[in-house]
Structure 1
Amino acid sequence: MSGKLKAAEVSAMLASQMEALARELLPGGKKTGAEWMAGSVAGEPGTKLAVHLYGAKAGVWKDFSQDIGGDPLDLVAHCLTNRDLSAAYRWACNWLGLSTETVEVRRAEIREKAEQAKAKEEEDAKKRVIRARDIWMNAQPNILNTPVDFYLQARGIKLEKFDRPPGALRFAPEHYCAEINAPLPAMLAAITDLNGRCVAVHQTWLGQHGGQWAKAQLEIPKKVLGSFRGACIRLRKGAAGTTLKQVLPDEVIAIGEGIETCLSVAMARPDLRILAAISLANLGTIRLPDTARNVLILADRDESTAAKKGLRKAIDTHLSAGRTVDVAWPPKGKDFNDVIGR
């Protein structure tokens, strides 16, 4: 090579060929939608490691079992060179066939591809929002006596105990599932921003097993369509009965991860305003109005290092926003749904 490409430039070039790279580094994995899924950096089958294959996030990866992640060059280092980035850089240059290329030509390609990827990602993001809203609007609003109702009953959640079923939940009798390339019944949840606009949709595919409704027997029975950072699933307005933007300073806002966990708490405390964050990472990033001063985090009993760090980060984020933060732990089991029995 004439000159030397920066590590970030090499990483960007790897990202432009991410699917081929993922197949080589993680041979036991498989493509699931726009991601390559594997068990870990060892490359065995599984779903704990996810690699984005396309768009502006191409090459971004996360191994949730070990709480590690990074860019494509980091992935090479973890998979092949015992985390030696210098060795990973040399391997990547060889894999990319850079020895006969000029740095200037490749840098121009990197810039052009990055601009194209950014524009495409922005356009794709808009399309995902539109698609999520269409899916939501076309679903059945009344979930009583539907597979959604029966699924929640099997999880110990009795919708008749509420004054009304959560308006955020809907039922889709035939909702397309990419994993099996066929439609399945599904519980859909609207994910909304602070202004109440639907920005994404949470999908839980359902199936009957032994005469009882449960999550469909899929490798990944739950997925989100769209970007949900800062947004949430509004499950209960609580005693106030007002919109999220109308929260009063003395009101407590309870925030949990999953729909089932949050509804389990709602059965015991229907007076609470309850939001589902969808993920641990989003517990602290949910956008709340300035009037929100009190937060109750409904924590899962997860002793992993990643979970502890994630919870601590969520607490610190809310504290830094000037809110008081309390944490509620399930007295038994992993989460509050375990408490009410399944």
Structure 2
Amino acid sequence: MAGERSSAALSTPEPPIAADLPVARPCSYFPGPTMDQPATDIARRLAARAEAVCRHYLSSGRREGRYWMVGDMRNTPGRSLYVRLVDMEKGPAGKWTDAATGEHGDLLDIIAATQGTRGFAETLEEARRFLALPPEDNPPHPVRERPRAGRLDAHRSIARMLGGTRSLANSIAADYLRGRGITCFSGCDALRFHPRLSYRPGPDDVPHTHRHWPALVAKVTDSDGQLTGIHRTWIDPATRMKAPLASPRRSLGAIAGHAVRFGRTRDVMIAGEGIETILSLRDLMPDMPMAAATSSSHLAAFFPPSGLKRLYVALDRDEAGEQAARKLRDRAHKDGIGTNILTPMLGDFNEDLVQLGKDQLARTIADQLCIADQDRFLPSSCS
């Protein structure tokens, strides 16, 4: 068996390198050009167990030869990001590069992204837990964050993309959402339409993939309403469905912990993964504040806003979705927030809306809301 694995590894094609990649830029999770000695030691220990780290934190990927392949550093399925599992001439084990964005970094970045940690000290604590190391007696002082080239590039790209957008009304993006059964667009200021958004093909795209498509562009913000990133869904103008791309959805900027938000949150809200899932629920309850975290890993890392008393978590019925919902529920409980998981009848609430209809979706939701929220939100409808 060992011989068979070695043979497979030798025959596996190398990930894209050099000219195949966009200009590389460092991941912006950790500030400053160097780490202190404890952090350096932990990074070295993680690199020595690179495959175990990947299997734990990047479980949506798989080993291909001497690399671990996954969609991105937040554990999205795909093959854009590759992690070296062994030391090679090109670099040491534990280093990763995202072929779609050009970002690169080490395994501490991966832990921060997948776990939604709130700072460097918390990331080191999680790494120590994984490595079964004792807690540090004197944890490092918070490091003042410095601007990074990658972060500045992302900010410029986000500003440029948003500058090319227009209102969602009467657009291909609105047609795409209507095709998903969504008809209520009130309070959807976070959603914009780009008529010709650039798409960088990845290694899984077919040759000669078009590089410009119409797109639904969603603003990702923090709980104070400050823009932190964007989420893009490319659309086929002929079918008004998702474009035939290997990665028709991509995020840019700081997404973990934040969300695409609908309505102003006060004491109660719904958080879920996909924009379409949340908009399906808004068709029933347009006055209920809601947030789409854009993926399961981001939902698990979502930061409930201060003052929140009740949080409903819209479940996607797959393994990653169930784990994310439980993580968010448990974390919210620790913060004293009453939390309930809303469960669809099918795979997610958009499937329920499209296949079962709005009346059945309303009955499904009504059975899972507290009485006060039924009276407060369900009678509302889009005008």
Name the TM-score, length of structure 2 as normaliser. Answer: 0.56
- Give the C-alpha shift of residue 202 in structure 1: 0.2
Pair 23,195 (structure 1): closer, same or farther in 2 beyond 3 Å: same
C-alpha distance in structure 2 between counterparts of 1:222 and 1:38, whole Å: 11
Residue by residue over 1:138-169, the C-alpha shift from the partner in whole angstroms, topping out at 9 and shown as x without a partner, is 311x21221101101111111xx44x251011
1:133/1:201 contact within 8 Å kept: no
What is residue 231 of structure 1 aligned with on the other side? 258
- Give the C-alpha shift of residue 58 in structure 1: 3.6
Residue by residue over 1:63-110, the C-alpha shift from the partner in whole angstroms, topping out at 9 and shown as x without a partner, is xxxx9xxxxxxxxxxxxxxxxx9xxxxxxxxxxxxxxxxxxxxxxxxx
Q: Unpaired runs of 5+ in structure 2?
A: 1-39, 51-62, 84-95, 115-130, 132-144, 202-208, 356-383
- Give the C-alpha shift of residue 61 in structure 1: 9.4
What is residue 202 of structure 1 aligned with on the other side? 231
Which of 322, 325, 333 in structure 1 is aligned with 2:336? 322
C-alpha distance in structure 2 between counterparts of 1:261 and 1:154, whole Å: 13
What is residue 156 of structure 1 aligned with on the other side? 181
Q: What amino acid is aligned across from residue 273 of structure 1 in structure 2?
A: P
- Give the C-alpha shift of residue 278 in structure 1: 1.2
Question: SS in structure 1 opposite 2:198?
Answer: strand
1:151/1:214 contact within 8 Å kept: yes
Residue by residue over 1:264-302, the C-alpha shift from the partner in whole angstroms, topping out at 9 and shown as x without a partner, is 011011221111011222224333332111101111112
Pair 121,217 (structure 1): closer, same or farther in 2 beyond 3 Å: farther
What is residue 100 of structure 1 aligned with on the other side? none
Question: SS in structure 2 opposite 1:136?
Answer: helix
What is residue 34 of structure 2 aligned with on the other side? none
Question: SS in structure 2 opposite 1:151?
Answer: helix
Whether 1:336 and 2:349 are equivalent positions in the alignment is yes
Alignment of 1:59-74 (within 5 A): none
C-alpha distance in structure 2 between counterparts of 1:181 and 1:157, whole Å: 28
Pair 307,143 (structure 1): closer, same or farther in 2 beyond 3 Å: closer
Question: SS in structure 2 opposite 1:129?
Answer: helix
What is residue 128 of structure 1 aligned with on the other side? 154
Whether 1:187 and 2:209 are equivalent positions in the alignment is no
1:253/1:272 contact within 8 Å kept: yes
What is residue 74 of structure 1 aligned with on the other side? none
Pair 181,228 (structure 1): closer, same or farther in 2 beyond 3 Å: same
What is residue 242 of structure 2 aligned with on the other side? 215
What is residue 166 of structure 1 aligned with on the other side? 188
Q: What amino acid is aligned across from residue 125 of structure 1 in structure 2?
A: R
Pair 330,9 (structure 1): closer, same or farther in 2 beyond 3 Å: closer
Whether 1:266 and 2:282 are equivalent positions in the alignment is yes
C-alpha distance in structure 1 between counterparts of 2:351 and 2:153, whole Å: 37
1:285/1:317 contact within 8 Å kept: no
2:315/2:322 contact within 8 Å kept: no
Pair 219,297 (structure 1): closer, same or farther in 2 beyond 3 Å: same
What is residue 308 of structure 1 aligned with on the other side? 322
- Give the C-alpha shift of residue 195 in structure 1: 2.0
Whether 1:25 and 2:66 are equivalent positions in the alignment is yes
Question: SS in structure 1 opposite 2:224?
Answer: coil
C-alpha distance in structure 2 between counterparts of 1:328 and 1:201, whole Å: 26
Q: What amino acid is aligned across from residue 196 of structure 2 in structure 1?
A: E
C-alpha distance in structure 1 between counterparts of 2:219 and 2:213, whole Å: 18
Residue by residue over 1:100-144, the C-alpha shift from the partner in whole angstroms, topping out at 9 and shown as x without a partner, is xxxxxxxxxxxxxxxxxxx9983212321232133123311x212
- Give the C-alpha shift of residue 216 in structure 1: 0.4
Q: What amino acid is aligned across from residue 245 of structure 2 in structure 1?
A: L
Percent of aligned positions that are identical: 26
What is residue 105 of structure 2 aligned with on the other side? 57
Rg larger for? 1
Alignment RMSD (CA, Å) = 3.7
Question: SS in structure 2 opposite 1:341?
Answer: helix
Residue by residue over 1:20-47, the C-alpha shift from the partner in whole angstroms, topping out at 9 and shown as x without a partner, is xx985249x69x8x88x998xxxxxx54
1:172/1:185 contact within 8 Å kept: yes
- Give the C-alpha shift of residue 321 in structure 1: 1.0
1:154/1:212 contact within 8 Å kept: no
Q: What amino acid is aligned across from residue 286 of structure 1 in structure 2?
A: F
C-alpha distance in structure 1 between counterparts of 2:300 and 2:254, whole Å: 16
Question: SS in structure 1 opposite 2:148?
Answer: helix
Which of 163, 166, 170 in structure 2 is aligned with 1:145? 170
Pair 145,8 (structure 1): closer, same or farther in 2 beyond 3 Å: closer
Pair 215,61 (structure 1): closer, same or farther in 2 beyond 3 Å: farther
What is residue 177 of structure 1 aligned with on the other side? 199
Q: Unpaired runs of 5+ in structure 1?
A: 16-21, 40-45, 68-84, 86-118, 238-242
Pair 7,299 (structure 1): closer, same or farther in 2 beyond 3 Å: closer
Pair 286,10 (structure 1): closer, same or farther in 2 beyond 3 Å: closer
Q: What amino acid is aligned across from residue 258 of structure 1 in structure 2?
A: G
